[in-house]
Amino acid sequence: MSRGFVKEDDQEETPIIPPRAPLPASVTNYVTPERMEQLLAERTALERQRQLDKDMDEQQRRRELAVIDGKFALLQERIASARILQSKEQNQDEIRFGAHVTLNMNKQQQVFQIVGVDEADVAQKKLAYTAPMAVAITGKKVGETVAFKLGRENRTIKIIKIHYT
């Protein structure tokens, strides 16, 4: 049937499902144990959201279910691909996944934790292990200095302290 014979009210827009943080191709999806718990809690919450109000308008219900199902599918992919790394299993003398790192960059001391892609949040001082700065300092030990280029600016990063929780 031609689209010309369909009522405008019958045409539904495809819902936009917000993407998860991008995980580079062929990169392992490392997560902290805490993040895995959060992902599983998020899945439980989405399962609860599927039980939508039965009195809801059918078109609205279909739209909301499509968004929930889309989010659920993306979440399931992340959970299925997740590989939990325990901090205590890391080499405690060098920067690895899960490390809390105190560093001096441009004469300012900063503390970051190296975490998974979904958990990264610069405002909370959590840096994805795939981020350029995390890649530059991974494997380094206390006292080492790393040259790091940020845009056009060259920075020197000195590792002050490494600890795991």
CATH of the domain at 134: 3.10.50.30
User: Which residues pair with residue 156 across a beta bridge?
Assistant: 147
Is 154 inside any structural domain?
Answer: yes
pLDDT tens across 150-165, in order?
888 888 999 999 999 8
99 and 53 both lie in a single domain:
no
Report the 3 state secondary structure along the chain. Answer: CCHHHCCHHHCCCCCCCCCCCCCCCCCCEEECHHHHHHHHHHHHHHHHHCCCCCCCCHHHHHHHHHHHHHHHHHHHHHHHHEEECCHHHCCCCECCCCCEEEEEECCEEEEEEEECCCCCEHHHCEEECCCHHHHHHCCCECCCEEEEEECCEEEEEEEEEEECC
157 and 94 both lie in a single domain:
yes
Q: What local confidence, expressed as pLDDT, does residue 55 receive? A: 74
Distance CA 82, CA 65 (A): 25
Distance CA 39, CA 75 (A): 7
Is 10 inside any structural domain?
Answer: no
User: Which residues pair with residue 145 across a beta bridge?
Assistant: 158
Burial of 83 (0-12, 13-18, 19+ CB in 10 A): exposed
94 and 159 both lie in a single domain:
yes
Q: What local confidence, expressed as pLDDT, does residue 45 receive? A: 94
Average pLDDT over residues 99-105: 94
Residue 90 in this model has a pLDDT that exceeds 90: no
Average pLDDT over residues 67-93: 89
Overall number of domains in the chain = 2
Q: What local confidence, expressed as pLDDT, does residue 50 receive? A: 84
- Name the band, by pLDDT with cuts 50, 70 and 90, for residue 97: very high
Antiparallel, parallel or unpaired: β 29-31 and 82-84: parallel
Is 149 inside any structural domain?
Answer: yes
Q: What local confidence, expressed as pLDDT, does residue 30 receive? A: 92
Is 158 inside any structural domain?
Answer: yes
Q: What local confidence, expressed as pLDDT, does residue 7 receive? A: 55
44 and 98 both lie in a single domain:
no
47 and 110 both lie in a single domain:
no
* Both structure tokens of 137: 């300092």
94 and 154 both lie in a single domain:
yes
Among 42, 69, 84, the domain boundary falls at 84
Domain that holds residue 130: 89-163
Within a 10 A sphere around the Cβ of 128, how many other Cβ atoms? Answer: 23
Within a 10 A sphere around the Cβ of 51, how many other Cβ atoms? Answer: 7
97 and 159 both lie in a single domain:
yes
Residue 6 in this model has a pLDDT that exceeds 80: no
Give percent above pLDDT 90 in the chain.
Answer: 55
Is 75 inside any structural domain?
Answer: yes
Among 54, 84, 114, the domain boundary falls at 84
pLDDT tens across 12-59, in order?
677 788 788 778 888 889 999 999 999 999 999 999 988 866 777 888
Q: What local confidence, expressed as pLDDT, does residue 3 receive? A: 54
Residue 146 in this model has a pLDDT that exceeds 60: yes
Q: What local confidence, expressed as pLDDT, does residue 109 receive? A: 95
